Amino acid sequence: MSAISVPAHVSFFGVSLLPSSRGRYYVGNMEAIERQRLSTDAMGNCTVTLQNVVIGSRYRVEISATGATVVDGVAANSTVDLTVPYYSSGNGSNSLRIKVRNGSGTPSYRPFETQAEAAAGAALVWVSQELDE
């Protein structure tokens, strides 16, 4: 979000505040403009790679705590790269539940479900779908 504020480290009315976050910061003409993030805002993107997926399986990545959809789709390849946001450390939205299902075709597979943690960089998820035959 954007805000107009007094630089936190600038003494104002005799109060000296230390910055709690960093962001774009501009100062000039007796004003300072900076862009701050809420703790619930994503800090960037994480690449979650699903490996060993049965082609044609439906996958779904959701936030564990809420079940909110992060991304879903049908696997066109056995390796699926997914871009998901990650948040500041400790944010519950970093905990992801990953579902992979393929129960309509022949052969059928038992529902696969696992968890992953979104973080800066990448997360590798090995998918092990058992035949339901």
The distance of Cα 124 from the centroid of its chain, to the nearest Å, equals: 14
What distance in Å separates the CA atoms of residue 27 and residue 130, rounded to the nearest whole number? 59
Total of chain residues touching other proteins, rule CB under 8 A: 18
Q: Is 64 in the site for other proteins (CB under 8 A)?
A: no
The DSSP output letter for 8 is T
31 or 72: CB nearest other proteins: 72
Amino acid at 69: T
Asked if residue 10 binds other proteins (CB under 8 A), the reply is: no
Q: Which range of residues in 1-9, 31-39, 83-91, 101-109 is near other proteins by CB under 8 A?
A: 101-109
Q: Kindly state whether residue 72 participates in binding other proteins, applying the rule CB under 8 A.
A: yes
The DSSP annotation for 63-77 comes to: ETTT--EEEEEE-SS
DSSP state of 129: P
Pick from 23, 44, 92, 103 the residue near other proteins by CB under 8 A: 103
With CB under 8 A as the contact rule, which of the stretches 33-41, 42-50, 65-73, 78-86 interacts with other proteins? 65-73
